[in-house]
């Protein structure tokens, strides 16, 4: 199919997700249309706040709201006109003034600066996107809790530096991912609740608002403005104190990190030669129809690789927030924050679906556990028997002289030392403790009452 028909380049959307499939279908909350809607909401919120404080006549507030809500603005036109002034708030204010009749027109953008409008709009967009991310994180956490519970006592190989180490449980592996996800969710929830509106006037002194309404009303205006938007009231203007942006960025990166670690487990443990985990329904291959690619995990990992650099860019911009409004650092934040939100939306949505569909292959888990024929218990043998006896046993095991249980029995030692399920430490307790946060009814064993250690010289009752 030909795609070479002539087009007006200013009428074509730059980003449709063709090269960022992780966020396709999940990023409407941060689209240009969503940003423009938020910009308009901010302008109307300021007018309404003036009305709430009795600064603007109620009738004129109504005229502004009615006129603006009756018109649809073109984001492409606003974007094109933003080039001259360097930000979209300038042409937006002009467009709204053209819409609103006199004398109510005077209240449009009155006293505000472009940064007040754009910062508040991006915070508003962020708050809505974060709400969606949090819902998906909660759902993913619930699925991980179920997996941890369902595989609580299923013994598996723990791998350190890619190699078989000691026994663990599948349940503990899921519980550890659950803990990381829950921590990220808690942090993002706190940051979301504290996202502030921005209102400071030209240089953060609120002088324009004092001139318009007097000091008392000007002091109350940011609170009324924030309330109209459903955002936190700012303690002070934060034009060059960018902690709201960096804290949000850090929390988003942490959430994507947690999802990325889960996805990495799936891609690693789902390899053909390991086969312990699968997504359930895998993606296909264009050339190899036998493959079931871990498509969701791949997409999540792509987000996890990109996100930290975006967070770093936000910090770099914050560190260069000079004077009373930055010259370029502020502008660098806008697309960076949106890209990070898009990745979080996509990673969280795919993470929810991934966790809900994860499948454990018990046969593969058992097969891998038996691969070393008992050498996975080397640490236990050294602790129970001493280093020399353990080394002798492992040498005999490596020479093919028999299985570990038989070798122990032949030496008059307890063959139960060869049972990997008896060397998982407090794994069950750690799983139950992780689950109990979500389900208070889950019994949590007392970690001070662990399993009785095995006596290597003890004979088992007949």
- The structure tokens listed for 403 are 């299985």
- The structure tokens listed for 25 are 């279908």
| DSSP-assigned states of every residue in 277-314 | EE-SSPBP-SS-TT--B-HHHHHHHHHHHHHHHHHHHH
Cα–Cα distance measured from residue 264 to residue 352, given in angstroms and rounded to the nearest whole number:
15
User: Closest Cα to residue 99, out of 47, 29, 28, 30?
Assistant: 47
Helix (H, G, I), strand (E, B) or coil at 159: strand
The yes-or-no answer on residue 143 being catalytic is no
Cα–Cα distance measured from residue 441 to residue 339, given in angstroms and rounded to the nearest whole number:
40
Q: What's phi and psi for 402, nearest 5 deg?
A: 145, 175
Helix residue ranges per DSSP H, 400-446:
404-410, 427-436
Of 285, 359, 401, 421, the catalytic one is 285
The yes-or-no answer on residue 325 being catalytic is yes
Between the alpha carbon of residue 272 and those of residues 38, 147, 159, 292, the distances in Å are: 48, 22, 17, 10
Peptide bond connecting 103 to the previous residue in cis, omega within 30 degrees of 0 = yes
Of 325, 367, 411, 436, the catalytic one is 325
Helix (H, G, I), strand (E, B) or coil at 31: coil
Helix residue ranges per DSSP H, 151-230:
170-194, 207-213, 215-229
By annotation, the residues acting in catalysis are 285, 325
């Amino acid at each position: 199919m030909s795609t070479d028909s002539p087009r007006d380049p200013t009428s074509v959307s730059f980003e449709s997700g063709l090269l960022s499939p992780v966020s396709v279908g999940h990023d409407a909350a941060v689209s240009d249309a969503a940003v423009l809607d938020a910009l308009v909401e901010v302008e109307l919120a300021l007018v309404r706040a003036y009305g709430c404080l009795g600064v603007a006549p109620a009738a004129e507030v109504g005229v502004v709201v009615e006129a603006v809500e009756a018109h649809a603005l073109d984001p492409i036109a606003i974007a094109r006109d933003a080039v001259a002034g360097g930000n979209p708030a300038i042409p937006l204010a002009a467009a709204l003034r053209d819409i609103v009749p006199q004398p109510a027109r005077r209240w449009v953008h009155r006293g505000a600066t472009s940064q007040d409008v754009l910062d508040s709009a991006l915070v508003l967009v962020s708050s809505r996107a974060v709400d969606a991310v949090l819902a998906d994180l909660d759902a993913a956490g619930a699925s991980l809790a179920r997996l941890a519970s369902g595989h609580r006592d299923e013994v598996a190989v723990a791998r350190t530096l890619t190699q078989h180490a000691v026994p663990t449980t599948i349940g503990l592996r899921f519980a550890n991912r659950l803990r990381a996800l829950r921590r990220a969710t808690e942090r993002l929830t706190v940051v979301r609740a504290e996202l502030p509106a921005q209102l400071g006037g030209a240089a953060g002194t609120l002088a324009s608002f004092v001139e318009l309404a007097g000091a008392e009303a000007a002091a109350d205006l940011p609170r009324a403005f924030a309330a109209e938007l459903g955002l936190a009231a700012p303690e002070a203007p934060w034009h060059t104190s960018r902690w709201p942006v960096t804290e949000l960025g850090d929390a988003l990166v942490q959430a994507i990190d947690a999802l990325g670690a889960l996805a990495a487990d799936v891609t690693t443990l789902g390899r053909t030669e390991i086969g312990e985990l699968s997504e359930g329904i895998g993606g296909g291959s264009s050339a190899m129809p036998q493959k079931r690619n871990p498509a969701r995990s791949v997409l999540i990992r792509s987000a996890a690789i990109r996100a930290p650099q975006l967070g770093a860019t936000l910090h770099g911009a914050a560190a260069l927030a000079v004077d009373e409004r930055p010259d370029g650092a502020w502008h660098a934040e806008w697309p960076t924050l949106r890209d990070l939100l898009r990745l979080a939306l996509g990673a969280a949505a795919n993470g929810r679906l991934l966790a809900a569909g994860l499948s454990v292959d018990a046969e593969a888990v058992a097969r891998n556990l038996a691969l070393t024929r008992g050498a996975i218990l080397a640490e236990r043998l050294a602790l129970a028997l001493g280093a020399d006896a353990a080394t002798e046993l492992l040498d005999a095991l490596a020479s093919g002289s028999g299985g570990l249980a038989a070798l122990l029995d032949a030496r008059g030692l307890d063959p139960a030392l060869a049972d990997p399920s008896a060397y998982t430490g407090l794994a069950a307790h750690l799983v139950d403790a992780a689950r109990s946060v979500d389900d208070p009814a889950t019994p949590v064993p007392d970690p001070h009452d662990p399993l009785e250690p095995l006596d290597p010289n003890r004979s088992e009752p007949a």
